A = this chain, B = another copy of it.
Amino acid sequence: MRLYMGLIHFPVYNKDHERIASAITTLDLHDLARLARTYAVKRLFIITPLEDQQLLARRILTHWQVGYGARYNPDRKEALQRTRVVATLQEAFSVVSQKEGCTPIMIGTDASDTKDRTISYAQARRIIKNNEVVMLLFGTAWGLHDEVINAMDRVLVPIKGRDGYNHLSVRTAAAITLDRLI
């Protein structure tokens, strides 16, 4: 399996559908790192262009990887070791392309279902199982900006409740998505 994952903090939407950079949520880093470890995702990229936010994310990672946290909780250390902080999606794309020797298939996730190029969980599962290089992208705040969505090769169908309610946190949405795909 050659699956990569990215958590995007810019460009995403805010509540009023404006283009923003969201702040790092500490728990997102922990939850997604542990999910990545559980589902054998090769690397989790935390993507934010804001330098103070990169610093914050790196400080959290360092604490759990080599600081007190690494001794306090080795399971968490192991999870966070596959996490990297980068400034842009392009940078994550380059790292993966170089590492794998080919460009990844970019699959976005979105809570709204008006997008073209949608792909079902079964289809995405087949691609991943075929050992293709895949980068799965999640948006923070109110979700990935159309700029990102438009740059995707495919977009996963949204997770929907029994009556169409679909306002999950990125943590729980990522958990459900990975469990369905792997």
Contacts and interface: CB of A to CB of B under 8 A. Distances in A.
Contact of A175 (B75, B165, B176, B182): B176
A179 B182 contact: no
A5 B47 CA distance: 34
Given A27-B27, A179-B179, A180-B179, A38 B171 contact: no
24 contacts: A15-B73, A27-B27, A27-B169, A30-B169, A31-B171, A31-B172, A34-B167, A34-B168, A34-B169, A37-B165, A38-B159, A38-B160, A38-B162, A38-B165, A75-B167, A159-B179, A162-B182, A168-B175, A171-B175, A173-B175, A175-B175, A175-B176, A176-B176, A179-B179
